[in-house]
Amino acid sequence: MSSDVEATLTDGRRARRDRNKNAVLDAMIELFTSDRDPTPDDIAAVCGLSPRSVYRYFEDRDALILAAIERNQERLWPLFRIQGFGTGPLEQRIDRFVQSRIELYEANADLSRATRRRAAGNELIRASAELSQERLRAQTVGQFEEELQAMDGKQSRSTIAAIDALTQFEGLDYYRVTRKFSKAMTTTMLIDTLNDLLGPTR
């Protein structure tokens, strides 16, 4: 067998392996939103592989969970990024920030809800949720660094905490699900409130 043919076969096997691995992860993400933990049989039924194949690509269940979390985060990364991050007039930064948080929530609400249900019983999931919260908090600080630096320490910490409460998942879920605010109503409310918190007349 020539080296070119062997390389082609190797590349084909690698591509097939990657497709199957991603299919397992996508099935795990899809099923994770249900009220019960997905079994290998559940995952196999969704992705079209045999139950034995599910864990062929992962050492154990924890490895599968971590890989699924990472794949979902990769999917959401374009929504997490804010155009012109930390630059421009306050009004524009608030608008971009709120739009980003709303879109991120809308794309990930079901999975975020499921993650929080399971966080108390799984250290890996809890750690991932806490890391996501920290990243969102750091994004808040970076987006509004100019205004926060103009405040004293106590006011800055209080303002960051207030923005977190309003724009991280739990707050958005309260407005969209519990209060049944529309997306437009939630967006307007958040923009108005952040302007009150950060604007020159605060």
- Please state the pTM of the whole predicted model: 0.81
Type of residue at 4: D
Instruction: Compute CA 123 distance to the chain's CA centroid, rounded to the nearest angstrom.
Output: 18
Mean model confidence pLDDT for the chain? 87
**Model confidence pLDDT, tens digit, residues 12-37:** 667 777 888 888 888 888 887 776 67
Rounded CA-CA distance 143/146 in Å is: 8
Indicate if the pLDDT at residue 178 is higher than 50: yes
Structural domain spans, the chain: 1-57, 60-198
In terms of Cα–Cα distance, which of 76, 167, 169 is closest to 130?
169
Confidence of residue 192 (pLDDT cuts 50, 70, 90): very high
Assigned fold of 60-198: Tetracycline Repressor; domain 2 (1.10.357)
Q: pLDDT: is 67 or 91 the higher one?
A: 91
Looking at domain 1-57, its CATH class is: mainly alpha
> Quick one: pLDDT band at residue 111, thresholds 50, 70, 90?
confident
